[in-house]
Amino acid sequence: MNKLSHYKGLFTFLIGMLFLCLVLNLSLGSINIPLWEAIKIILGYPTTKPTFEYILLDYRIPKAITAMLTGGSLGVCGLMMQTYFKNPLAGPYVLGISSGASLGVALLLMGSSWLGGWFIFSEVGLRWAIMIAATLGSILVFCLILIAAIRLKNSTSLLILGLMFGSLTAAIVNILMFFGSKEALQKYVFWSFGSLGNINASELKILGLILLVGLSISVYSIKNLNSLLLGEYYAESLGVSLKKNRYLLILSSSLLAGATTAFVGPIGFIGLAAPHLIRLLIPSTRDHKIILPAVFLGGALLLLFCDSIAQIPGSAYVLPINGITSLIGAPLIIFLILMQKN
Amino acid sequence: MITLNKLTTGYAKNRISKEISTQIQLEIKKGSLVGILGSNGIGKSTLIKTLAGFLKPLSGNVEIQGKMVHEMNPQQRAKYLSVVLTEKNFNGDLIGKELIQLGRQPHTNWMGKQTQGDQEIVLQILKQLNIEQLAEQMLNTMSDGEVQKILLARAIAQKTPIVFLDEPSSHLDLFNKAQLFQEIKHIVKKEKKTVVFSSHDLNTAIQICDQIILLLDNQWEYGSPEELIEKGVFQSIFPKESVFFDPKQKQFNICV
């Protein structure tokens, strides 16, 4: 379809904004690092302040990379779901994969508190246990969705099913919370705030690898996603094998949404808002060869921006990222919808 | 060439199957325009969807150039046949040109990259159908007639020897209908494509079709319009007190 070069302007804009936001993000925090110093450290120049270097390299840069990777992945995941379900309200969480992650974490925290044993985990041990529980929860829902998907005829049924799985797991989490101890509840609530900053370099590598696999599948699906713009019958007549495509999309979105939720907790609205934002910026094409990479950049930009705000410039507080993304994302979508009407 | 071998269409659900058309046995020649006619709910759409491979036959089979349609995978089928369907749940934000370009998908690489050749084909079809002004227009701002032309253009762009159209002329006024069928007639003649369409517009079909598949309750007829008129099958489609067929004028008239 349209050549990538037609949209050079868009990509230059997005990458430029991303870079600006990155520098801003790195310089913000409880200790202000001047913009110039931040740029120098990123580019590898020697710095006079080793503390700045330590803060940047060991904390802020991994956090910024996490924000960009997960933001971009959530955006791409949301785009795939919106195209597949032909529903602008679909997002990365519609298949219920992340609710599965929440269920895993809730079971771990509340369940082990019944056994009186959550304290056996050290801080680090608990963090890993949470990630593993979230992953197992995601995989559980993924398997259920897959089994159901074999029987289902159309995408609408899958959408309803995903939402139902989400509601079911949320209900179980609610009941668990009712019986959970105060400490466990607190830990669960903190997890549900989401956190980009808890990831160290080795965890980041694992997360990056999983997201890379998920993103590769979504790139492989670009052609099919374009055919699906015409609906499932037409897509099939253009050579898309609907079942295989459905499995690929479920797998990809599970990897993207599941891994993100497991490593940084639930992050709302990015996956919903990024595709809308990009579609508004380029109304002249629906070609996923253009839209998908643009949405990745858009999602990365959005989450990085939200993270910068969550730092509250000049204060030691870090606001819960999940709250900030919703606080920014929801008005953004309202704004975009109103713009469209005109 | 399309061959229907004792084809029975219908729906199978929970071991209860509902047969719609039974034991159809016929051959459609290459380069002919064939209409599937019949009253509402008689199974025209089901037959078209079975021929195009979307639905599995309850029994019998469909062969296209010696190959069973239902044993082909979607990629193979996409090279033999293209479709225009009544389902219009495509993305309304698509612009005309982009929709037509999607017709080239079966011929593109794994990313769906459009080559210079693909783009030229699309431009040429836009010109051929005289719809260049729709190229940059969004689908949800187009009229039914315009959408139908874009969909036909997409099917032509797929460059398949066979095109199936499900009710292509419903919702169109007389002028748009005439234009659409002129275009269809043109691609049958010029490009030697085989076009099969379903319609409940009997008068138009009798005028333009080479062959007609007429679906009736529990039976079917196949032949050229003249043969079918001679056989007198059109008289039996509707109750005589409402609609009657005039063999001299070759058209149905409403009793008033």
The residues near B238 (Cβ < 8 Å, ≥ 6 apart) are B39, B244, B252
Q: Which amino acid, residue B76?
A: Q
Residue written as token pair 């990831």: A199
* Beta-strand relationship, B2-13 and B16-28: antiparallel
Each residue's pLDDT tens digit, B94-152: 999 999 999 999 999 999 999 999 999 999 999 999 999 999 999 999 999 999 999 99
Distance CA A1, CA A290 (A): 9
Nearest to B90 among A222, A234, A284 (CB): A234
What is the structure's pLDDT at A251? 93
Identify from A156, A227, A230 which residue to disrupt to test chain B contact, counting B C-beta atoms within 10 A and taking the largest count: A230
Contact B149, B134 (CB under 8 A): yes
Mean pLDDT of B162-187: 94
What is the structure's pLDDT at B238? 84
The residues near A270 (Cβ < 8 Å, ≥ 6 apart) are A71, A74, A75, A78, A299, A302, A303, A306, A325, A329
Distance CA A36, CA A49 (A): 12
Q: Furthest-apart CA pair in chain B: how many Å?
A: 60
- Mean of all residue pLDDT scores within chain B: 93
What is the structure's pLDDT at A1? 44
Residue B49: give the domain boundaries.
Answer: 2-254
| Total structural domains within chain B | 1
Nearest Cα of chain A lies from the Cα of B104 at a distance, in angstroms, of: 8
What is the structure's pLDDT at A121? 65
Nearest to A227 among B93, B95, B102 (CB): B102
CATH class of A4-341: mainly alpha
What is the structure's pLDDT at A317? 81
- The tokens of A311 are what? 């730092």
- The rounded percent of chain B whose pLDDT value lies above 70 is 99
What is the structure's pLDDT at A114? 67
pLDDT at B32 over 80: yes
The answer to whether B111 contacts A289, with C-beta atoms less than 8 Å apart, is: yes
Neighbouring C-beta atoms of residue B87, cutoff 10 Å: 12
> Contacts of residue B75 in chain A, CB cutoff 8 Å?
239, 241
Contact A76, A295 (CB under 8 A): yes
Distance CA B33, CA B22 (A): 22
Sign of the dihedral through C-alpha A25, A31, A37, A42: negative
Distance CA A207, CA A192 (A): 18
Beta bridge partners of B84: B165
Distance CA A91, CA A159 (A): 11
Give the chain B residue whose CA is nearest to the CA of A242. Answer: B74
Digitized pLDDT (tens) for each residue of chain A, 342 residues in all: 445 677 999 999 999 999 999 988 988 877 888 888 888 887 888 777 888 888 888 889 999 999 999 999 999 999 999 999 988 888 898 888 888 999 999 998 888 766 655 556 677 788 888 888 998 998 898 888 888 888 887 788 888 988 898 899 999 999 998 988 888 899 899 999 999 988 888 899 999 999 999 999 999 999 999 999 999 999 999 999 999 999 999 999 999 999 999 999 999 899 999 999 999 899 889 999 999 999 999 999 999 999 999 987 667 788 999 999 999 999 988 888 888 755
Nearest to A286 among B74, B87, B94 (CB): B94
What is the structure's pLDDT at B115? 94
CATH code at B120? 3.40.50.300
Q: What ipTM was assigned to the predicted interfaces of this complex? A: 0.94
Mean pLDDT of B62-85: 95
Each residue's pLDDT tens digit, A295-340: 999 999 999 999 999 987 667 788 999 999 999 999 988 888 888 7
| CA A128 to mean position of chain CA atoms | 19
Mean pLDDT of B25-48: 94
